[in-house]
Amino acid sequence: MSPQDSAEPELAGLTISDPLDQRVHNPVDVPSPDNEWSLPEGFAWVFLGQGNRSLVRPVIISDGFSLGRSELDKLYQFLESDYQLISDLRRRGKDVVLLGYNERTAAIQTNAQAAIAAILRAGAERLGDDRLIVGGFSMGGLVTRYALAKLEHQRIDHQTGTYFSFDTPHRGATIPVGVQAFSYFIPFPDNDFARQMNSPAARQMLWQHYDKDTGKIGVAEERRVLLDELARLGGWPRIPRLLGVASGRGDGVGLPEVRPGETALRVERIYPGTTFYTQAQGDDVTAAYLNRRFPKAEKTVTTNGFPELDGAPGGTLNTYRILADALEKGGGTVDLRHPDICFVPTISAVSVRDIGRQQDLYAKVDELPPDESDLDDFICSSTTTTHTAVTEELGTWLVDRLGY
């Protein structure tokens, strides 16, 4: 028997990421774009607004994080699936520019080159003097924030009147460190899951990152560099009005069914006994026990000083559902108890507090003074929703503020 034959299944195709192309509930026909732009590090599709024969009132919407090249047809369907965001904007005479990237896991500074090029091209081709609207979903909000701030720092007129972000991890996102560690525990070092978790963009966005080489948990160097660069650029663009949407609630209520220190997912047959736990406070807290048969190995992943992340107020991701489905497909039996957990905390999406402290993570954002946010105006969902889901409540709020 060869080493590959005796190894645990590779879990081919497993990735855990922004679900912008995974939650299309109501598929729609995607029309041909009126124009296509080739950009440094990316590309864009242009859909003209109702009655427009050329670019007049551009709205640039950036794609988010996932593995590989952007699939703008899927992004279009996602944005039309629950609430018809693109159609609503176009009915109001807005031209929608969907911005994609050659590699969505590339560094935010790299993909900002595509955003900068799209902003400058939209400004140059636009007829009239309506100022641009620029923003994005999840990571896309960070890419466009960086791009606009950099243009201002360089004294380049970006001609943008409004910036928006939709459940963007301005203060960081969270993937359980046990899940991150498991991606490297799969005995195929170049598997998609590990490539994704160790990618530049993931290392930049995650509040805490599991280092595959040292086994240490902390702020990745790539994140430190990005935050330092943003600080040198002024942190945020200062010319546009800054809008933000949070998929999580603003009243301090998260997922009460996700209690800290409980089993979230247990696996048998393949990776026997491997168990992931919901994050609890304290020191030397077991986040996961990992076990595999071939080649034989086991590991316990522990944390120190973490808040109760998994049940916190925020946009959710079906992290453990994705992992459980892949393990079942690979021949395992699973005990899945908490399929959905917090991914982008509310305090991060509206940029009011950092994630590290329990009292901040569960802060009642709705009761905080508005000037605690880096944004000029924002909305938190009235109910906990899936990360970046465009509900009628959130879509209407955003379009009303973009459609002036």
Write down the pLDDT at residue 3.
Answer: 37
Write down the pLDDT at residue 188.
Answer: 80
Determine the Cα–Cα distance for residues 107 and 86; give it in Å rounded to an integer: 27
Query: Going residue by residue through the chain (404 aa), what tens digit of pLDDT does each one get?
Result: 333 444 566 665 566 544 434 556 677 889 999 999 999 999 999 999 999 999 999 999 999 999 899 999 999 999 998 899 999 999 999 999 999 999 999 999 999 999 999 999 999 999 999 999 999 999 999 999 999 999 999 999 999 999 999 999 999 999 999 999 999 998 887 788 889 999 999 999 999 999 999 999 999 999 999 999 999 999 999 999 999 999 999 999 999 999 999 999 999 998 999 999 999 999 999 999 999 998 999 999 999 999 999 999 999 999 999 999 989 988 899 999 999 999 999 999 999 999 999 999 999 999 999 899 999 999 999 999 999 999 999 999 999 999 76
**Which of 390, 277, 264, 280 is closest to 322 using CA atoms?**
264
Residues sharing a CB contact under 8 Å with residue 75, sequence separation 6 or more, in sequence order: 20, 21, 63, 98, 100
The tokens of 370 are what? Answer: 């508005």
Question: For the structural domain made of 35-171+222-253+366-402, what CATH number should be given?
Answer: 3.40.50.1820
> Residues 15, 192: contact at Cβ < 8 Å?
yes
Strand 341-345 with 314-317, pairing: antiparallel
Query: What are the start-end ranges of the E strands in 211-332?
Result: 217-218, 241-249, 263-268, 275-277, 285-292, 297-303, 314-317
Residue 242 φ/ψ, nearest 5 degrees = -105, 120
**Which of 337, 300, 286, 262 is closest to 185 using CA atoms?**
300
The tokens of 110 are what? Answer: 């790299």
Residues sharing a CB contact under 8 Å with residue 171, sequence separation 6 or more, in sequence order: 207, 345, 347, 348, 351, 353, 354, 355
Q: What is the CA radius of gyration of the chain?
A: 21
The ranges assigned to domains in the chain are: 35-171+222-253+366-402, 173-220+255-344
Confidence (pTM)? 0.95
**Which of 46, 79, 48, 88 is closest to 166 using CA atoms?**
79
Side-chain half-sphere of 28: how many Cα atoms within 13 Å? Answer: 19
